[in-house]
Amino acid sequence: MSASRAPGLTASVPYQPVASSAEIEGRAPATRPSRIPTAGARNAAGDAAPSMDAAPSTEAVPSIEVVPSAEVVAPAESVDWFVAGENENVGPPMARPRAAAGALFFDEEGRVLLVEPSYKPGWDIPGGFIEPGESPYAACVREVEEEIGIVPPIGSLLVVDWASDEHTGDMLLFVFDGGLLPSDWRERIRLDMNEIINCAFTPLSDVGEKLPVLHARRVRAAAGLRAGHGGAGYLEHGYLTPAAPAVSSAPAGAAQRTEATD
């Protein structure tokens, strides 16, 4: 016997087929009692017939347990888009730039310390890539010690530079202020001679001759902000962004931030 389901319920009730008019007319008339038994009446065997006024039976009637249907939709769970982003087919695309950090150290003549790596052409500032779970500042301190063998005090952030190309992808470069490196610290410099094979203090006007174009632009922008006491700056491909000063709501005559020049 098939069963029909009421919406929202899992209990089943027997399906009752509906007979056609022809089937109903062809059926024999149902047998009906000749009379309704009354109190005190007896049947053909002489036994007392059941009274219509008799107390109802106390026999337990099986109950049907009604439970919510499994088709009820559960509340939607919240989505962690950071985790979902691990699967490129789920959630919005997320940027995953590589990141590096370094420091600018100066001598009394205002020259900047550059290092010569063994693994790539050109020079660079002391620093390197940030490791997983490491902060940019901690990476800067670690890389300076690994490359030139000293752990001098390192100051605040000068610039963060965003750059991207088809070869290296997206990059974030953090440059911190190493400040003036006194002679006693300079005398302690020990190159590892594995990754770094040379170092030299170089005038800012000459950094373009030793550094790649984007690196030189970043160093000059950071040095310019440091000299102007303008605080940290945001760069894109070494250019201060936005290039023009933002409209200020400060009163007329208020001091404006000195911008780095290219």
Contact by Cβ (8 Å): 223, 194: no
pLDDT the model gives residue 242: 93
Q: Which of 232, 227, 219, 231 is nearest to 262 (CA)?
A: 219
pLDDT in tens, 13-62: 444 455 555 554 555 454 444 444 444 444 444 455 444 444 555 555 55
**Antiparallel, parallel or unpaired: β 98-106 and 239-240:** unpaired
The whole-model pTM stands at 0.62
pLDDT the model gives residue 39: 45
Mean pLDDT for the chain overall: 76
**Antiparallel, parallel or unpaired: β 3-5 and 127-129:** unpaired
Whole-number Å distance between alpha carbons of 236 and 220: 14
Buried b (16+ CB within 10 A) or exposed e, 2-22: eeeeeeeeeeeeeeeeeeeee
Residue type, 188: R
pLDDT in tens, 170-200: 999 999 999 999 999 999 999 988 999 999 9
With a CB cutoff of 8 Å and minimum separation 6, the contacts of 73 are: none
